[in-house]
Structure 1
Amino acid sequence: MTAGLLTAGLGMGTAQAEDVRIGVFVPTTGVLAPLGNDMKNGFELAARGATVKGEPVRLIIEDTAANPANGLRKAQKLVLEDQVKLLIGGASSAVTLGIGAQAARLNVPIITTNGQAVAITGDQCGKFLFRTVPHDGNSAKASAAMFSERKDMLEKKWFVVYHDFAYGLSNKAEFAKIPGINIVGEAGRPVGTADWSSAISQIQSSDADGVYIALAVGDDLTAFVNQLRGYGITFPVLTPVGIPDTMLQALGDNGVGMMAGGLTASWMQEADNPKIAQLVKDYHDAYGIVPGYQAIQAYAGLQFTLAAMEAADDLSPESLIKALETTAADTVVGTLKIRPEDHQGMQGSYVAEAVKLDEPRFGATVGWKTLSHLDWEQVNVEPAESGCKGL
């Protein structure tokens, strides 16, 4: 069942024949719902009033529930029944990879604005599959750059907690490649784990003085951090790319001090980025909260996609693929473009720390403060390193 419809600039209503239809696949229910709903909100805001070649854009939003089989069914429905021109979303790497495996049959471009497993533009790269954000390998390079400046962090003994599926396995493998990193233990758990006491016992019995969490962003992650702090473990917690701001607010003081090695954007950049400032205002007006980084990534990803669709000769799959490979779009996070060799988005990232605000802003009491910017060249992983052997 369709989770939601949006006709940009026209409000809800019956689709018009001339609408430019874009299929959005995100988890709006289940353990990854906090992430998926942030993305949904970002896509909807970016689509407001949007047109492609003079025709209004219509988003058709489907809930994948972060389940690969369900995600593929929803992708098939969007393409075959709704006749969308392309698919965008992909909160879960496993869902994105599952849909990507059927890309040739679906015959539309598939764009993820969040899936981070290297394989998406690595050894499972393909002509239909695109990513607008950094992947786990890029995030690991960002963490390595941070460690080069923070010797106290590099010297720590790290315990890795990960989700035992595509994203967690990919992320922990990339973290282990950081030069000089000292990993003294690890604990893998399935998505949907609510009780982390056994993993925390493993941490306590190890010699660790730092925790790296390769957990998919969802309720599991907040449960882990709250339980970790509840057990009196106060040493640093490092995430690869941060967590949504809705979840950061839910953690409150337990989230303060968390570090992110490869955050892609923060609403707290509003002071230095007028486009972020406008997005924060519009997002808060629409949803009553600040945008998390997944919402900002979704907004920027759809801005890029709409620019590519406008630049395409026509809206056929081949023309759209060519335009996605060659477009450089001015977005809320800066210029966004895709590397044509593997369809990897060339975007830098930030080292960030979760800080308590002096006074609430837009309802937020905690936020990601960016400490330093890492440009694309600092986090770049070449196609030969990621495993893409050509499209």
Structure 2
Amino acid sequence: MKYGNPLKGVLGAFAAVVAATAIMLPSTAIAEDIVIGIFVPTTGALAPLGTDMLNGYELAAKGATVNGNAIRLVVEDSAAKADVGLRKAQKLVLEDKAKILVGGASSAVVLGINAQGARLNVPILSTNSQAVQTTGEQCSKYLFRTNPNDAMMAKANGILMEERPEYLQKKWFVVFHDFVWGQSNKAEFAKIPGINIVGEAGRPLGTADWSSAISQIQSSGADAIYMALAVGDDMPSFIGQVRSFGIDAFMLPPLGMPDSMLQAVGENAAGMTAGGLFASWMSEDKNPAMKKFVEDYVAAYGIVPGPQAIQAYAGMQLTIEALKQAASLDTDAIISALETTSVDSVIGKLQIRKEDHQGMVGTYMAEATMLPDAPHGAKIGWKVIKDIPWDAIKIDLADTGCKGL
């Protein structure tokens, strides 16, 4: 009698089971985190601004996924220096494999990274670069901006002065940070029809002693000061020193300041008005999405969100939605999605103008107001006087300086 190999039969049956199982089980790809590279200043004069932005990004990305893949933020400190920012951007793309770069705070950093956009070959989205060049003369297929720019803010300040004509009658002194953004901002302010500028003083970022500039203000006979100062440690220092010299001139900041600083300046900031405010947490009484965001922000960070934190949150909302809508995670697909995606963000509908990659957003007319009841612990806040929509402040494509993407 011949007997077959019993082991052969067992192995054959086992193989058949494995094959059947393989057919029944769906094929699944290994999930990988989608990296978003964040470049903000966490040290240096603009660190308070960078911290606000980072808080907004982190809160918006918390728990977010794209097609089952987790979003992971990798953060690098740009120190608000163009050379440092570029090195960190290269690291985020080459080593951390970031699919998109998000951040800013300094227009010089954003423009420096954009100059190498083709080599980096990833989209770059800024929620705080204000220099007109960003979506103007230096526009590119890689660079996107979701916040209002200097020209839009100047239009908003023009609207402010139409509504409060007494401001237009004042003699203005412009104090500015002498670098890309400060020069851009003061140039746009000077374009406001009928504005009377009697003097100006430029100082480098990181200036601690403003006494020489204050002497120039006193000598000019100005009764109003426009502060084209980057929103960092310098601005509250300047305001405090101006008041300590006994100067009670009206002061107009281009967009306000982070609420962490506003609280520190306190009564010295009361009465300041802004036509180009990015956003205000005090709109929570009319905006349920803002109310929820403010509650979450205060719970996470113990302070109300400033304008830059709000813009950062909205920009990250758009970024994540675009990644979801993209046909793939290839650069061209993400760029295409950013150009066509709109999102109901914390500041309302947010969408990019495809032709120059400028965010189609408005600004807010607001006044720094003392808050006796201290909601969320805030003793002072930007009380919104009027919403200024995109259509009122947009710059026509022919006037942007962008020659095409």
The TM-score normalised by the length of structure 1 is 0.95
Equivalent residues in 2 for 1:268-279 (5 A)?
268-279=282-293
Equivalent residues in 2 for 1:263-302 (5 A)?
263-302=277-316
Residue 193 (1) aligns with residue 207 (2)? yes
Whole-Å separation in 2 of the counterparts to 1:358 and 1:223: 24
Partner of residue 324, structure 1: 338
Letter of the 1:132 partner, please give it: T
Q: CA deviation at 1:52?
A: 1.1
Matched residue SS, 1:218: coil
Residue 95 (1) aligns with residue 130 (2)? no
Matched residue SS, 2:374: strand
Q: CA deviation at 1:17?
A: 6.2
Q: Percent of aligned pairs with the same residue?
A: 62
Partner of residue 195, structure 2: 181
Corresponding residue to 1:150 among 164, 188, 195: 164
- After superposition, give the CA deviation of every residue in 1:78-124 in whole Å (9 maximum; x if it has no partner): 00000010000011101000000000000000000001000000000
Partner of residue 121, structure 1: 135
Partner of residue 68, structure 1: 82
Equivalent residues in 2 for 1:1-391 (5 A)?
18-391=32-405
Q: CA deviation at 1:259?
A: 1.1
- The count of aligned residue pairs is 376
Matched residue SS, 2:109: helix
Letter of the 1:95 partner, please give it: V
Q: CA deviation at 1:382?
A: 1.7
Whole-Å separation in 1 of the counterparts to 2:169 and 2:82: 38
**Structure 1 contact 159–185 (Cα < 8 Å) conserved:** yes
Structure 1 runs not aligned, ≥5 long: 1-15
Q: CA deviation at 1:235?
A: 1.9
Letter of the 1:29 partner, please give it: T
Whole-Å separation in 2 of the counterparts to 1:53 and 1:186: 53
Partner of residue 20, structure 2: none
Whole-Å separation in 1 of the counterparts to 2:56 and 2:89: 20
- After superposition, give the CA deviation of every residue in 1:198-248 in whole Å (9 maximum; x if it has no partner): 000000001211000000010111110000011111121001111110000
Q: CA RMSD in A?
A: 0.8
Q: CA deviation at 1:126?
A: 0.3
Letter of the 1:119 partner, please give it: Q
Letter of the 1:311 partner, please give it: Q
Letter of the 1:249 partner, please give it: Q
**Structure 1 contact 215–221 (Cα < 8 Å) conserved:** yes
Whole-Å separation in 1 of the counterparts to 2:84 and 2:278: 28
Letter of the 1:235 partner, please give it: A
Partner of residue 6, structure 1: none
Letter of the 2:34 partner, please give it: V
Letter of the 1:325 partner, please give it: E
Q: CA deviation at 1:303?
A: 0.2
- After superposition, give the CA deviation of every residue in 1:136-192 in whole Å (9 maximum; x if it has no partner): 000000000111111100111100000000110000000000111110000000001
Q: CA deviation at 1:279?
A: 0.9
Whole-Å separation in 2 of the counterparts to 1:320 and 1:303: 14
The TM-score normalised by the length of structure 2 is 0.92
**Structure 1 contact 383–389 (Cα < 8 Å) conserved:** no
Partner of residue 14, structure 2: none
**Structure 2 contact 255–278 (Cα < 8 Å) conserved:** yes
Decide which structure has the larger Cα Rg and report it: 2
Whole-Å separation in 1 of the counterparts to 2:396 and 2:265: 36
Whole-Å separation in 1 of the counterparts to 2:384 and 2:40: 27
Letter of the 1:242 partner, please give it: G
Misfit runs of 4+, over 3 Å: none
Letter of the 1:34 partner, please give it: P
Matched residue SS, 2:235: helix
Q: CA deviation at 1:383?
A: 2.5
Matched residue SS, 2:364: strand
Q: CA deviation at 1:359?
A: 1.5
Whole-Å separation in 2 of the counterparts to 1:316 and 1:233: 56
Whole-Å separation in 2 of the counterparts to 1:167 and 1:353: 23
